[in-house]
Amino acid sequence: MDATIETQALTKRYGGTVAVDDLSVVVRPGRITGFVGPNGAGKTTTMRLLLGLAAPQSGQALVAGRRYVEIDRPLSVVGALLDAGAVHPGRSGRSHLRWIAQSNGIARGRAEEMLRLVGLAGVAGRRAGAFSLGMRQRLGIAAALLGDPPILVLDEPTIGLDPEGIRWMRETLRALAAEGRTVFVSSHLMSELEDTADHLIVIGKGRLLADLSVEQLIATASNDQVAITTPAVTAAMTVLANAGATPVSNGRDQVTVRGLSASHVSQLLGSSGIVLEQLVSTRATLEEAYFQLTRDEARP
Amino acid sequence: MTATLVSEWTKLRTQRGALIAVASMCVLMVGLTALAASESHTDAVFRGDDDVVQIGLAGAVFAALAAVVVGASAMTSEYSTGMIRTTLTATQSRPRVLAAKAAVVAALSFPLALAASAAAFLVAQSLLHERGYVAPAYPAVPITDPDAARAVVGTALLLTAYCLIALGIATALRHAGSSIAAGIGLVFVPLLMLGVFPEHVRERVVQATPLAGMAVQSTTGRMLNAFADVHGMPIGPWQGLGVAYAWALGSLVVGYLFLRRRDA
């Protein structure tokens, strides 16, 4: 089966607001594709369009080469986790998985197997309303995996999780991608995907901003930054500005500057007789690269 | 469709709110019928005129309120939890989801409503007997009497119709509060109209609203003497039930039109 997700000029408007704007991307199997953008960028809407929950004004979304509504027994093709809270609080975890399995003719034993896989077998008889958020996220993953689908669509699966839960989710997603599945996972925080995703699709205001690997994104981030600590802030700022840089002071004894290497900064200040108490060179993080990419889009 | 039915059945029987509502429906049916029967009395002037079958099913109008909650909660619990998205990704066909819900709501409520109606009838006949409803004016009416059996089965069918009406309303409105309010309004407004409007309007009310279904309880050629002053039978017993089911069908169709066109 062709386990790719593809959107073709996908467009969704709500009244006058464009939620998804002419979005064309391909999500490939065997890796984790992070789907990032600020809140309100259109990530959830895109996922709902993929799953046939909402209808686009134009363009189309294809999963495994077909429109979602055309797929027979869809849970064996696409597993989705849109909202871990979307569980009836009075129903047990086991009953929740059972009705989902039954809707697609999935064997009863599979629900038990998934409960063991996500570590909920011991509490599966308890009301889901008594589950912690982490347990509900695990239950959501179990539900998404019921049909053993080659494609997974997960909306903010780590939101609200504690560090242990985040680590579990990352390891689970990595294992699923390593099995050759397509893992499409959204987040509004790049840091959540930093150690997880292989590939990134960045959107803002519904438009595609970038579709590249994690390494490529870091490389596009503007230059390294150098932070110095000195008692002579004003003098240091003047020297650096004369060298063509744009230094920024924190108001006390620190100055940061972009566009100059650490050795160049050290040399400039040294030759001007300015005392350096500390000099730290930092590489742009993925978060900063992402911020540069999306900051214009994040503003209303 | 089988898979969807099985799935919806599992959902309904593990949804506590719906189960509490269906239990309440049965309790109201039996309890308020018993109350009505134990407060009934024969009088000299109209001796032989009371409809002991209808008194024996008088709790139906109250049970209908719980039936509204049963039907509405089967759908509103999907929207209040956001579970509707899981439902519609697992079963993409929206008409199939709604049809399966209607089928399982009916499959849960009808047998229980039937048991409750039969129990209410039997309890009421015994209470009425103690209250002086005795032969020759009031010979004992067994539940196997054709008119009595029609009234008992018809009452269960009427309660089921109220469940389905509410399911349709809830599919259109999505929120529990507004759906239940609308469903209860549909039970009570016709009754209130009976108390306010003149005879020719009252006849229209019992012909055209879901209240027409109450005609199925009548065995003396007088409709609704337990609640209001409507003489004669403006509509036949099965026709009346048919009107209630026309409301159920109409409500489900309207619900479907909303479900089909709206994003989930």
How far apart are the C-alpha atoms of A295 and A274, rounded to whole Å? 35
Query: Do the Cβ atoms of B81 and A86 come within 8 Å?
Result: yes
Can you say how many angstroms the Cα of residue A20 is from the centroid of all Cα atoms in its chain? 17
Q: Is residue A234 predicted with pLDDT exceeding 80? A: yes
Give the pLDDT confidence of A192-218 residue by residue, as tens digits: 787 789 999 999 999 999 999 887 877
Look up tokens 């467009």; give the residue: A11
Which chain A residues are closer than 8 Å to B15 by Cβ? 88, 90-91
The Cα-based distances of A141 to A152, A183, B81, B258 in angstroms read 9, 12, 17, 30
Give A179 to chain B, closest Cα distance, Å: 23
Instruction: Please report the pLDDT score of residue B47 as a whole number.
Output: 63
Assigned token pair, A267: 């040399």
Query: How far does A65 lie from chain B, in Å, by closest CA?
Result: 17
Concatenating the DSSP letter of every residue in A250-275 gives -SSSEEEEESS-HHHHHHHHHHTT--
Which of the residues in chain B have pLDDT under 50? 44, 226
Distance from B254 to chain A by nearest Cα, in Å?
Answer: 19
Q: Could you give the C-alpha distances from B34 to A88, A97, A178, B87, B122, in angstroms and in order?
A: 36, 42, 67, 41, 10
Q: Is A143 on the interface with B (CB under 8 A)?
A: yes
CA distance from start to end of chain B: 21
The residues of B whose Cβ lies within 8 A of any Cβ of A are 3-4, 6-8, 10-11, 14-17, 77, 81-83, 85-92, 263-264
Other residues' Cβ atoms within 10 Å of the Cβ of residue A271: 9
Locate the chain A residue with the closest alpha carbon to B16: A90
- Whole-number CA gyration radius for chain B: 19
Q: Edge-to-edge strands of the sheet including A278-282?
A: A248-249, A254-258, A225-229, A278-282
Contact B3 A104 (CB under 8 A): yes
d(CA A205, CA A146): 33
Amino acid at A253: D
A39-77 pLDDT tens trace: 889 999 999 999 999 999 999 999 999 999 999 999 999
Q: Name the pLDDT band for A284 (thresholds 50, 70, 90).
A: low
Chain B touched by A68 (CB under 8 Å): yes
Bond preceding residue B136 cis, omega within 30 of 0: yes
Q: What is the pLDDT of residue A51?
A: 97
Nearest to A293 by CA among A47, A38, A42: A38
Quote the number of domains for chain B: 1
Q: How far is B220 from chain A (nearest CA, A)?
A: 46
- In SS3 terms, chain B reads as CHHHHHHHHHHHHCCHHHHHHHHHHHHHHHHHHHHHHHCCCCCCCCCCCCCHHHHCCCCHHHHHHHHHHHHHHHHHHHHHHCCHHHHHHHCCCHHHHHHHHHHHHHHHHHHHHHHHHHHHHHHHHHHHHHCCCCCCCCCCCCCCCHHHHHHHHHHHHHHHHHHHHHHHHHHHHCCHHHHHHHHHHHHHHHHHHHHHCCHHHHHHHHHHCHHHHHHHHCCCCCECCCCCCECCCCCCHHHHHHHHHHHHHHHHHHHHHHHHHCCC
Task: Give how far B97 is from chain A: nearest CA, Å.
Answer: 10
Neighbours of A132 (CB within 10 A): 12
Q: Count Cβ neighbours within 10 Å for each residue of B217-236 and write b for 16 or more, e otherwise.
A: bbbeebbbbbebebeebbbe
Q: Which of B81, B84, B262 to mutate to test the interface with A (most CBs of A within 10 A)?
A: B81
Band the pLDDT of A223: cuts 50, 70, 90: low
User: Measuring CA to CA, which residue among A199, A205, A136, A202 is closest to residue A169?
Assistant: A136
Predicted structure pTM score: 0.86
Task: Give residue A300's pLDDT band: very low, low, confident or very high (50, 70, 90).
Answer: very low
Q: Name residues whose C-beta falls within 8 Å of residue B5's C-beta, 6 or more positions apart in sequence.
A: B100, B103, B104
* CB-nearest partner of B4 from A68, A103, A143: A103
**Interatomic CA distance for residues A141 and A217, integer angstroms:** 28
Handedness of CA A221, A224, A230, A233 (dihedral sign): negative
Shortest CA distance from B2: residue in chain A: A103
Per-residue pLDDT tens for B157-185? 999 999 999 999 999 999 999 999 999 99
Q: Please identify among residues 78-117 of chain A the ones whose CB lies closer than 8 Å to any CB of chain B.
A: 78, 80, 82-83, 85-92, 95, 98-100, 102-105
Q: What is the mean pLDDT of chain A?
A: 89
Nearest Cα to A44, choosing from B176, B97, B82, B98? B82
Range of the domain at B79: 2-261
